[in-house]
């Protein structure tokens, strides 16, 4: 394995990718440092050209191709970020590019890939189905296939992230890296261990697509029956067999994260760092609270920021609900003048902000006995929510709280 991803190869790749990458300096996070008991830094590849780290591996791989391989045209399969990297790098190299993307790929990633010059083909529900179709097209048309992760050359390009981290923070203790197919984790962990074996490198994958965890348990890549996660960029059924030996050797630990934790992580990043990070990139943010609070220097790699507005809106709403910053209470009250004012006053006295009111007169056949008032309220959090509920109860009502989307 050592003749493929070497320090010399990483150095060569680092010089090459600088031709197309933007400098993504580490961002220290006082908020997450205080919340986790470690000194937390972010490597903001969400700010990278094409919106993700993938341009590194794609550009480095394409730079190693022969003129004949470029002339045949390039093809790849991707859930979005590698697609944009290949499209961008291929256009710079003057080569035709075809990208097969799952039909579930967010619209913004599809459109951006086209804008970078690629022909886009939508096929399959997950990456693995798109990849099978891309390999079929490559055979039919003679295209050169650029694998998004199962290629040591691509992984070397991705590993330049780790080189930049240690250059900027030489005493880094822990690096958190997202895992989908394993290319990024392969490059990052291999360089880190070559540079300093004492650096802990922890892979983070979604609970609903934990292909690396399954592979480590079996000591070989295994195919999951399904991938169910909002982290679409890491929804891969099987980790790459070419990169797996490096992952098995160089990763110190793998953490799995449920989707619910990604939702609140998105909210935290927007509010505390004013950064848009896509769900796959949030894996390492959510993983921070799973680390022991030992005042270590921890770097979380934010792998990408390509999220469509509809998804963003949904994640924000779910995050606010999970944090009890939006909730709904229903109260039964007689249908007579002044009752609505009493409810509104009780909420206002606790500085609750009413977002929506629903007045249901048909909850009972006896309107004088009871009508239902459903009030959706904005609060500061769980404690404030409880204060509002207690105030309604003190005013003579029996509020029933529930979670609801706007």
Residue with tokens 């045949």: 72
Burial of 361 (0-12, 13-18, 19+ CB in 10 A): exposed
**Cα 217–chain centre separation:** 24
Element (DSSP H or E) covering residue 372: strand 371-378
Question: CA 165 to CA 202: how far, in whole Å?
Answer: 15
Question: CA 391 to CA 120: how far, in whole Å?
Answer: 56
CB atoms within 10 A of CB 170: 10
Burial of 224 (0-12, 13-18, 19+ CB in 10 A): buried
Q: For residue 391, give every residue at least 6 positions away whose Cβ sits within 8 Å of its Cβ, in sequence order, or none.
A: 346, 347, 349, 350
* Beta-strand runs (E) in 179-252: 200-206
Q: Which two tokens stand for residue 322?
A: 């999970």
Question: CA 365 to CA 369: how far, in whole Å?
Answer: 9
301, 329 in Cβ contact below 8 A?
no
Question: CA 97 to CA 183: how far, in whole Å?
Answer: 21
Geometric angle at alpha carbon 205, from 200 and 210, rounded to 5°: 120
76, 151 in Cβ contact below 8 A?
no
Q: Residue 119 phi/psi, 5° resolution? A: -90, 125
Q: Which of 182, 181, 154, 157 is nearest to 250 (CA)?
A: 182
Q: How many CA atoms, within 13 angstroms, populate the side-chain half-sphere of residue 297?
A: 14
Question: CA 170 to CA 226: how far, in whole Å?
Answer: 40
Catalytic residues: 54, 303
Question: CA 138 to CA 157: how far, in whole Å?
Answer: 23
């Amino acid at each position: 394995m050592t003749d493929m991803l070497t320090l010399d190869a990483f150095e060569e790749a680092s010089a090459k990718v600088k031709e197309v990458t933007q400098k993504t300096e580490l961002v220290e996070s006082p908020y997450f440092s205080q919340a986790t008991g470690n000194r937390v830094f972010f490597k903001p590849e969400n700010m990278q050209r094409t919106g993700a780290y993938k341009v590194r591996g794609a550009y480095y791989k394409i730079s190693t191709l022969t003129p004949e391989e470029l002339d045949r045209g390039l093809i790849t399969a991707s859930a979005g970020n590698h697609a944009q990297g290949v499209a961008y790098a291929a256009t710079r190299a003057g080569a035709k590019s075809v990208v097969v993307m799952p039909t579930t790929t967010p619209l913004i990633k599809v459109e951006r890939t086209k804008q970078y010059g690629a022909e886009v083909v939508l096929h399959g529900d997950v990456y693995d189905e798109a990849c099978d179709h891309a390999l079929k097209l490559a055979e039919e048309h003679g295209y050169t296939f650029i694998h998004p992760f199962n290629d040591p050359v691509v992984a070397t390009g991705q590993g330049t992230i780790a080189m930049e981290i240690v250059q900027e923070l030489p005493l880094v203790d822990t690096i958190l890296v997202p895992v989908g197919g394993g290319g990024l984790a392969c490059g990052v962990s291999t360089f880190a261990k070559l540079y300093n074996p004492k650096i802990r490198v922890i892979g983070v994958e979604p609970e609903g697509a934990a292909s690396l965890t399954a592979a480590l348990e079996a000591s070989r890549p295994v195919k999951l029956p399904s991938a169910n996660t909002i982290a679409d960029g890491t929804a891969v059924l099987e980790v790459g067999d070419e990169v797996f030996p490096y992952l098995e050797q160089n990763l110190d630990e793998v953490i799995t994260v449920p989707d619910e934790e990604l939702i609140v992580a998105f909210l935290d990043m927007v509010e505390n760092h004013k950064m848009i990070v896509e769900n796959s990139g949030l894996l390492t943010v959510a993983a921070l609270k799973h680390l022991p609070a030992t005042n270590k220097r921890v770097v979380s790699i934010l792998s990408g920021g390509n999220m469509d507005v509809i998804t963003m809106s949904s994640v924000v709403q779910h995050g606010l609900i999970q944090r009890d910053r939006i909730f709904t209470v229903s109260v039964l009250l007689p249908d007579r003048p002044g009752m609505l004012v009493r409810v509104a006053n009780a909420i206002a006295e606790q500085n609750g902000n009413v977002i929506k009111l629903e007045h249901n007169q048909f909850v009972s056949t006896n309107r004088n006995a009871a009508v239902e008032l459903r009030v959706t309220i904005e609060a500061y959090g769980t404690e404030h929510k409880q204060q509002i509920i207690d105030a309604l109860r003190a005013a003579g009502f029996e509020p029933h709280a529930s979670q609801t989307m706007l």
